Chain A
Amino acid sequence: MVVLSAARWVRSRLTDRFWRVQEVLKYARHFRGRKNRCYKLAVRSVRRAFVKSTRARREKKRFLRALWITRIEAASLEHGLKYPAFISNLFKSQVELNRKVIADLAIYEPKTFKSLAALAQRRRQEGFLAALGDGKEPEGIFSRIVRRY
């Protein structure tokens, strides 16, 4: 006779409980205390560790950018320029290097960084001169021609 469904009095038993537990414990082996051995404690710690790592992956970008900015600020102060002046003048002279690369240059290529600082300083002075204008006095209020239409 053909039996299509299993008999109802056969119960299935879990046979790979060990490996399911090891899947979680393998991520907890370097933890401190009983949470690296006991499954119940480990499950909670491993879950928190995963959540923290996902959040940290997003915050790592912010943290690294702040680090680069601090380094560039320190290096540009050595050459007598403040960070906002340095970065804004570099961008105005159409040099599009990002902060990571400028920080690396400041560490490993000091001469190149000095030339970049000199470039920014020169652009800054040209900007000041352009802002001053011609140096003439503005036209008088009463001598201005007002057209009424």
Chain B
Amino acid sequence: VAKTSLTSPPWPEVKLPDPVEEAKFHAEVVQKVNKMIAAGQYGRLFAVVHFASKQWKITSEDLIMMDNVLEAECGDRIRLEKVLLVGADDFTLIGRPLLGKDLVRVEATVIEKTESWPKINMRFWKRHKYQKKKIIVHPQTVLRINTIDIFPCLS
């Protein structure tokens, strides 16, 4: 059959590696990472957490402020579930889309529950004698992330 412009696809042909060898390689890597976690050979961990309908990239000892009310008193310890990604210097654990609760543990404390600065909403049409002014003050909560822990239960 003659070769036309449509005989081969426009993308370059790629061969994927052998699935059996790949499975072995994956198992090796998983075991290595498990050993590293069990031995505690990681420095500072960072995590990507989905909380208050936003995603945050957090480390230990950092502050987070959200524009809503939490039903927890000041000083309560909170565990943040819904972790999307955890990483250290040498390895990253990417969740699809979430990581298991037995793998990561993120703890936070509620520090402050305040109101935001008064934001002004104003609408004005010129020459139409139309103006409205509204002052919006919404509640805010400040959390401090205490620790991020990972446990060696990969498979």
A residues sitting closer than 8 Å to B (CB atoms) are 47-48, 50-51, 53-54, 57, 93-98, 100-101, 104-105, 108-109, 111-112, 115-116, 119, 125-126, 128-129, 131-132
B→A interface (CB under 8 Å): 9, 11, 14, 16, 46, 48, 55-57, 84-85, 87, 89, 92, 94-97, 119-124, 131, 133
A95 touches B94 (CB 8 A): yes
Tell me, rounded to whole Å, the shortest Cβ–Cβ distance linking A99 to chain B.
10
Question: In the bound complex, do residue B9 and residue A128 qualify as a contact, i.e. CB atoms below 8 Å apart?
Answer: yes
B97:A98 contact, CB within 8 angstroms? no
Instruction: Please tell me which one of the listed residues B55, B119, B123 contacts residue A97 in the complex, with CB atoms under 8 A apart.
Output: B55
**Nearest A-chain residue to B90, judged by Cβ:** A111
The interface residues of chain B lying within 8 Å CB-to-CB of A95 are: 84, 94-97
Q: Name the distance in Å between B94's Cβ and chain A's nearest Cβ.
A: 6
Complex Cα distance, B131 from A112, in Å, reads 50
Q: Is the CB of A105 within 8 A of B57?
A: yes
Contact with B94, one of A57, A100, A115, A126 (Cβ below 8 angstroms): A115
A29 to B: closest C-beta gap in Å: 16
Distance, CA A97 to CA B96, complexed state (A): 10
Docked complex Cα distance between A96 and B16 (Å): 25
The reply to whether A101 and B120 contact each other, CB–CB distance below 8 Å, is: no
Nearest chain B residue, comparing its CB with the CB of A103: B57
Min distance, Cβ B42 to any Cβ of chain A, angstroms: 13
Q: Which residues of A contact B94 (CB under 8 A)?
A: 95, 115-116, 119
Q: Which of B55, B87, B133 contacts A109 (CB 8 A)?
A: B87
* B14 and A94 form a contact (CB under 8 A): no
What's the Cα separation between A96 and B84 when bound, in Å? 8
A residues in contact with B97, CB < 8 Å? 94-96
- State A118–B85 Cα separation when bound (angstroms): 16
Assuming A112-B85, A112-B92, is B131 touching A128 (CB within 8 A)? Answer: no
Q: What residue in chain B is nearest A52 (Cβ atoms)? A: B122
Shortest distance in angstroms between A60's beta carbon and chain B's nearest beta carbon? 13
For the complex, give the distance between the alpha carbons of A96 and B83 in Å: 11
